[in-house]
Amino acid sequence: MRRTDRLFEIIQILRDGKLHRAKDIAARLEVSTRTIYRDMDTLVASGVPVEGERGVGYLVREQITLPPLTLTPEELEALNLGMAIVAEAADADLKAAALSLASKVDAVLPAEVIAEADAWKFAVYPFADVARGFAQMPTLRAAIKSRQKLEMHYRRIDGTLTERVIRPLHMEYWGRVWTLTAWCETRGDFRVFRVDLIEEARALPELFQDEPGKTLADYDPQANAPPEP
State the CB neighbour count (10 A cutoff) for residue 69.
8
CA distances from 212 to 163, 170, 183 (A): 25, 17, 12
pLDDT tens-digit profile of 133-143?
Answer: 677 888 998 99
Q: Write the DSSP string, 28-81.
A: HHTS-HHHHHHHHHHHHHTT--EEEETTTEEEE-S--PPPP----HHHHHHHHH
Give the pLDDT band (50/70/90) at residue 113: very low
pLDDT band at 112 (very low <50, low <70, confident <90, very high): very low
Residue 93 scores a pLDDT above 50 = yes
Model pLDDT for residues 20-65, shown as the tens digit of each residue: 999 999 999 999 999 999 989 888 876 677 888 888 899 876 655 5
Question: What confidence score (pLDDT) does residue 158 get?
Answer: 79
Instruction: Choose the most confident range, by mean pLDDT, from 72-76, 156-160, 162-166.
Output: 162-166
Average pLDDT estimate for 204-208: 95
Question: Regarding predicted confidence, which is higher, 179 or 22?
Answer: 22
Could you give the CA distance from residue 203 to residue 167 in angstroms, rounded to a whole number?
10
Q: How far apart are CA 178 and CA 9, in angstroms?
A: 40
CA distances from residue 40 to 11, 19, 24, 59, 99 in whole angstroms, order as listed: 10, 13, 14, 10, 30
End-to-end CA distance of the chain: 56
Burial 145-168 (b: 16+ CB within 10 A, else e): eeebbbbbebeeeeeeeeebbbbb
